[in-house]
């Protein structure tokens, strides 16, 4: 069974600040991890994913995430946020093999960027 | 242009009725999925299909039946609707089963 925990339900920062959104997971096998963004009333947009190689992965719009096996984490970061980054961010885990393709999502973190 | 189309965007139904949620993707993907998002629970996986074949079903109730008439279609039929079925239902697709998934805009279902 795979589980995903996003410890912060809400994060508020000012435009131009850096931000880190936390994600921790538990799963016994090989996995791939991803982040999605959901603007109000919209579907989810894929940001980035990791399954092997360089633990720091780059995504769209200046987002990056870092995988840590020792911490079972996959935190999302952005160096300088824009007001348009205000949205709900979801971390997701999936089994990296043919046994399963379902995404298991965390509860989401609502990011509010103040001007 | 939207690449994953879900129809309708909003749907209101009465308890006990039946509805079909439509999903079409024009990304040339071979795998399609359904997820549900409600106020009470985080995003939940429901079904996955690959080349029109059911790969995984995590929905406990048989009232939810996916229907794939074409490779790029995966509709969701829900029978005997209950108020607890009220949620936004998202369709997603991926190039191959297990690849990153791309989501449609969702159908928001309200059951009265």
CA distance B97 to chain A (A): 6
Structure tokens at B70: 């074409």
A9 Cβ neighbours under 8 A, 6+ residues apart: A107, A108, A109, A110
pLDDT at residue A98, rounded to an integer:
54
- Is there a contact between B100 and A104 if contact means CB atoms under 8 Å apart? no
Of residues A42, A102, A108, nearest to B58 (C-beta): A102
Mean pLDDT of A73-95: 95
Task: Give per-residue pLDDT as tens, B5-23.
Answer: 999 999 999 999 999 999 9
First to last CA, chain A: 41
Task: Give per-residue pLDDT as tens, B41-67.
Answer: 889 999 999 888 888 888 879 999 999
Model confidence at A76, pLDDT cuts 50, 70, 90, reads: very high
Q: How many residues are recorded in chain B?
A: 112
Reply yes or no on whether the pLDDT at A1 is more than 90: no
Mean pLDDT of A84-97: 89
Mean pLDDT of A46-63: 92
Chain B within 8 Å of A35 (Cβ-Cβ)? no
**Which residues in chain A are closer than 8 Å to B24, comparing Cβ atoms?**
none
User: What share of chain A in percent tops pLDDT 90?
Assistant: 74
CA B38 to centroid of chain Cα atoms: 13
């Amino acid at each position: 069974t795979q589980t995903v925990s996003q410890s912060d339900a809400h994060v508020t920062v000012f435009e131009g600040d850096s931000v880190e959104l936390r994600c921790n997971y538990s799963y016994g096998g090989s996995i791939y991890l991803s982040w999605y963004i959901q603007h109000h009333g919209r579907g989810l947009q894929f940001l980035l994913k990791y399954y092997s190689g360089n633990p720091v992965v780059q995504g769209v719009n200046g987002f990056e995430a870092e995988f840590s096996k020792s911490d079972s984490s996959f935190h999302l970061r952005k160096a300088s946020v824009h007001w348009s980054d205000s949205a709900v961010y979801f971390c997701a885990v999936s089994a990296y093999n043919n046994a399963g393709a379902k995404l298991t999502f965390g509860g989401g973190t609502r990011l509010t960027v103040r001007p | 242009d939207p690449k994953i189309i879900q129809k309708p965007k909003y749907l209101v139904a009465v308890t006990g009725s039946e509805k079909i949620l439509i999903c079409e993707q024009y990304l040339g993907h071979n795998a399609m999925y359904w997820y549900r998002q409600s106020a009470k629970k985080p995003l939940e996986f429901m079904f996955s299909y690959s080349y029109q074949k059911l790969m995984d079903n995590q929905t406990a109730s048989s009232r939810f039946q996916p229907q794939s008439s074409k490779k790029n279609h995966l509709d969701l039929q829900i029978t005997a609707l209950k108020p607890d079925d009220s949620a936004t239902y998202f369709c997603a697709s991926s190039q191959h089963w297990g690849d990153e998934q791309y989501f449609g805009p969702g159908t928001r279902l309200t059951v009265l």
